[in-house]
């Protein structure tokens, strides 16, 4: 279960959210990871309870160098950050990150020992033209070309048309794509990877719709955006079945 704050929050409001999470009664069988803005990563790691993971929202595919504004996985490890979100649709669309570039970032983070939430998903026009599975295949194949060990990868399926729009894929729509992802992994990587890789859903998940989504057999959790800024995140965590 991942909580992506995106570029939201300042020091005191974020601490209030952390305090609420620290006090929450969370299911013990659900792994929780939160992703604050980069400038607050150290603050959050120091203040959030130790059973909750902390993730960066992005990282570069190099150890160091003349890459103004970027952060390396090695630097994340240095301050105790064990996760990073890569390939989010906002990185793909706004910053024009290609499948190949994202895959190289995934590979570098894993090599360093940072676990990855790898985001994939189609835009509205791609879904309406029947290209959803083509897009998913292309994005997965790029990652599979660069890595062999999937044990520290979580795949986040995010239909772009449902991110921040208030729209959400129906449980059946989400399950269909999750099942396809698992089938693709089985046929193109291995049956073991298909069985063991967690596939989570992201796209306007909230306290009202999480229970129906959580019941689907191939949805292993959520990547939560807007609702991550609200106390209802605890409800979403505890919706996991």
| 90 a catalytic residue | no
Catalytic residue (choose from 88, 108, 178, 240): 88
| 178 a catalytic residue | no
219 vs 69, 81, 116, 171, 182, CA distance in Å? 35, 25, 17, 9, 10
Catalytic residue (choose from 122, 158, 178, 240): 158
Backbone angles phi, psi at 155, to 5 degrees: -95, 130
| Three-state secondary structure of the chain | CEEECCCCCCHHHHHHHHHHHHHCCCCCCCCCEEECCHHHHHHHHHHCCCCCEEEECCCCCCCCCCCCCCCCHHHHHHCCCCEEEECCHHHHHHCCCCHHHHHHHHHHHHHHCCEEEEEECCCHHHHHCCCHHHHHHHHHHHHHHHCCCCCCEEEEECCHHHCCCCCCCCHHHHHHHHHHHHHHHHHHCCHHHHHHCCEEECCCCCCCCHHHHHCCCCCCCEEECHHHHCCCHHHHHCCCC
- Most distant CA pair in the chain, distance: 48
Active site residues: 88, 158
């Amino acid at each position: 279960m991942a909580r992506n704050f995106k570029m939201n929050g300042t020091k005191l409001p974020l601490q209030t959210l952390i305090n609420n999470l620290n006090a929450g009664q969370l299911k013990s069988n659900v792994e929780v990871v939160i992703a604050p803005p980069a400038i607050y990563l150290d603050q959050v790691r120091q203040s959030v309870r130790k059973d909750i993971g902390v993730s960066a929202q992005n990282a570069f595919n190099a150890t160091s160098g003349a890459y103004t504004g970027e952060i390396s996985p090695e630097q994340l490890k240095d301050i105790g950050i064990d996760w990073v979100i890569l390939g989010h649709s906002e990185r793909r669309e706004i910053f024009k990150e290609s499948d190949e570039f994202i895959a190289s970032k995934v590979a570098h983070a894993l090599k360093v020992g940072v676990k990855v939430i790898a985001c994939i998903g189609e835009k509205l026009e791609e879904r309406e033209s029947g290209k959803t599975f083509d897009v998913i295949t292309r994005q997965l194949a790029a990652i599979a070309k660069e890595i062999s060990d999937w044990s520290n990868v979580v795949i986040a399926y995010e239909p772009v048309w449902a991110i921040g729009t208030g729209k959400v894929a129906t449980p059946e729509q989400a399950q269909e794509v999750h099942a396809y992802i698992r089938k693709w992994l089985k046929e193109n990587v291995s049956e073991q990877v298909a069985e063991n890789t967690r596939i989570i859903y992201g796209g306007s998940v909230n306290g009202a719709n999480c229970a129906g989504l959580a019941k689907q057999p191939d949805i292993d959790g959520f990547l939560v955006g807007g609702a991550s800024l609200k106390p209802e995140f605890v409800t979403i965590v505890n919706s996991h079945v």
